[in-house]
Homo-oligomer: A and B are copies of this chain.
Amino acid sequence: MATIRDVARAAGVSTATVSAVINETAYVSPPLRKRVLAAIDELNYAPMHAAQNLKSGRSGLVALVVADLSNPFFAKIVCAAEAAVAAWGYSLVVFNSDEKPDNERRIFSRIRTLSCDGVVLSPVGSSLRWDQRDLEGAAIPIVLFGRVVDDDRSDTVTIDNISAAKQVANYLLDLGHQRIGTITGPLHLTTGRGRLDGLLQAMQARGLAPQPGHVRSGEFREDVAYSVARDILERPDRPSALYVANGVMALGVMRAIADLGLKCPEDISIASTDTIPGIGGLKPRLTRTEHPVTDMTNEALRLLVERIRRGNDLPPRNVVFEPALVLGESCGPVNR
């Protein structure tokens, strides 16, 4: 690997000048600049990241920490984030906390070691243990994504979970459903809690409430949702509609319905918040609310980069996106 010194020697200038040319950090006269660029080209020189990082403190790395990389929702975020990060001139380091606080802790220590310039985080658990943050006053800029935890210094980008659930619930209620069941996510997550609350609020507004056995946790997992759905659907008093709190679980529910030989929407109406690719295209297309994942990710990165560039003492900003109801054929009028 050629070094900046090699370039400087080849161009007959000092390393400072080469650096100035590369980073456009000072005016360099055209002839010199030309010689430098020629030398760079000739030697196929590329500045060594580690050295730049060491000297400047900037790493050009943005960490993305997701809670469950096997969930297509987060996979989509990786995709959007890679593009956004690249557009801002950074590189994306991806971590999967797999919903385990211990992993999250390890990951953060790694992030600190890598001196990542910023972090997009889908937090697991209910509160961050910011071992890493305070100690030096040198907190890493963070944007909380999707889920929110108790933290008054980070930006957040979320969707309005309550609204999402309400939209779906009202749609079902308007179809005449009164016995609505739900498969929730983990209730210690805002995404789990909010979607349940939204449903309850919408039902309550019409003087209704789910039956006790009709509210079950699917833990945001396909297999769990599958067996919970089987369980609910085989009850003699099964609900006429089921609200499923995320896309992965919706898949499990649809699978359970197919395996039980039930017809959707004739026998049961299904609707969800969040989706997975495919489940909205195959018949019966799922009625669901969708998140503007790409917009959310872009916004998260915009906030993060601003925080990186302008300093981390900006007041925290909270951006809430509105989910959109997308109608399929998975819900029908209640029949009795």
Contacts and interface: CB of A to CB of B under 8 A. Distances in A.
Contacts of A44: 131, 135
B94 A1 contact: no
Contact of A281 (B49, B78, B115, B251): B251
A110 B94 CA distance: 16
Contacts of A14: none
Given A1-B138, A69-B82, A282 B113 contact: no
A26 interface: no
Interface residues of A, number: 53
A114 B70 CA distance: 27
Contacts of A222: 277
B46 A50 contact: no
Interface stretch (A51-59, A198-206, A213-221, A316-324): A51-59
Nearest to A70: B79
B277 A113 contact: no
Given A251-B278, A251-B282, A47 B78 contact: no
Identical copies of this chain, number: 2
Interface in A67-86: 69-70, 72, 75-76, 78-79, 82-83, 86
Given A46-B112, A69-B79, 11 more contacts: A49-B53, A50-B50, A50-B115, A69-B82, A72-B75, A86-B96, A91-B110, A91-B114, A92-B93, A92-B95, A258-B282
16 contacts: A48-B115, A50-B53, A53-B53, A61-B93, A70-B76, A72-B277, A75-B78, A91-B93, A91-B110, A251-B278, A255-B282, A258-B283, A276-B277, A276-B278, A278-B279, A278-B282
Interface of A: 1-2, 44, 46-51, 53-54, 59-61, 69-70, 72, 75-76, 78-79, 82-83, 86, 91-96, 109-110, 112-115, 131, 135-136, 138, 222, 251-252, 254-255, 258, 276-279, 281-283
User: Which 9 A-B pairs rank lowest in CB-CB distance, beginning with the nearest?
Assistant: A50-B53, A75-B75, A258-B283, A69-B79, A255-B281, A50-B54, A278-B278, A49-B113, A82-B96
